[in-house]
Structures are given as C-alpha cells and as structure tokens.
Structure 1
C-alpha cells in the first residue's frame, strides 16, 4: 500500500478525500518530525518508531573489495506492537470490520454471591 492508497482507505471512512489527505499527511509529518527530533513515537497496538545511532565502523566496498571507513549515522527502527505481530503471524483473527489494533473490550465481572 502506498500513500495514495492509504488516503483512499481513510477517505472511505471519512467520506471526504480532502480531509483524508490532510489527516494522513498530518499524521505522517508529525511522526517524521518527532522521530527526527529524537523522540520515540509509540502507537498502542501498532508499534514504536525510534531514531538510533549507529557507531562508526569499517565496511567493504562490494565492487572493489576495498575496506572503507563508515562514519556515525542515525537510522529509524520500527518495533511492531504485540497485537500487530499477532495479527500478522495469524495468532489472532483479523476482525471483519472496525479497528484491528484497538484493544479488546473489557469484560464485565459478574458479582459472586
């Protein structure tokens, strides 16, 4: 799924493509800005995005075989949430409709005599 397809899915839920486009782009922009600033973005049921620093190291140029020094770099890591992993692995049934990452409703406790 690409961004345009994601906007179309959100537009089906909202009924308005312009609103859906604004919503998707605003959420993505907020995530990118927060991670770039070093913050952890955590969405319950979906996962967490973090920026991590890779230390400098020696690598090999695949074309020449020559050793090269690679400097410190920052990367983005994604760690999926438990519900997301369970749905992908098939340990949890994908709901027919509604929000698939929403928490299960709490069950009501029955008073015992």
Structure 2
C-alpha cells in the first residue's frame, strides 16, 4: 500500500476528503520523523514503537574487490511491532 491508497482508505472511513486525509498522513509522518530526529521513541499502542538505534563501527567487504572496508558508527530508526500488529499478520 502506498500513501495515495492509504489516504483513500482513511478518507473513506472518516468522511474526510482525500486531500485532507493525505495532509493528515503527511503531518503524522512528519511528527514521527521530528521525534526521531530529537532522539525520542514514538509508541503507538497496539501498533508498535519506532526507536533510535545505535550501530557500532564494524568491518565490511567491498563485494566487487573483496577489499576490507571500515563502516563507521551510525544511528538508524528501528521498529518493534506491537502485540496487536503481530497478531494481525499471523
């Protein structure tokens, strides 16, 4: 499912226009991104938790040459599904 399809589904279920539903989805994702940029976790009960994870520096290999490369430490966003989401996909 892509954003336009999600916006259409939200619009159908809420009575909003598709443009308004798309705007709400954009605001929702922007707020999650802003919280992640601040280093905060975002928990949506029943759905899951978005959290910032720290990756340690590590060794890797260039697949073309086989040469060893150093991969620096970085931050990434992780997602842990909630109980209801896990149950829905079983």
Fold shared per TM-score above 0.5: yes
- Indicate the structure whose relative CO is greater, using CA pairs within 8 Å and at least 6 residues apart: 2
Matched residue of 1:86: which SS? helix
- 2:77 corresponds in structure 1 to 76
Q: Which runs of 5+ in 2 are unaligned?
A: none
TM-score (norm 2): 0.93
How many residues are matched? 89
**CA RMSD, Structure 1 to Structure 2 (Å):** 0.9
TM norm structure 1: 0.75
Higher strand share: 2
User: What is the alpha-carbon distance in structure 1 between the residues aligned to residue 31 and residue 18 of structure 2?
Assistant: 20
Between 15-24 and 42-51, the greater mean CA deviation after superposition: 15-24
What residue number does 1:106 align with?
Answer: none
Q: By percentage of residues, which structure has more helix? A: 2
Query: Which of structures 1 and 2 has the bigger CA Rg?
Result: 1
Question: Which ranges of 4 or more aligned residues in structure 1 deviate by more than 4 Å?
Answer: none
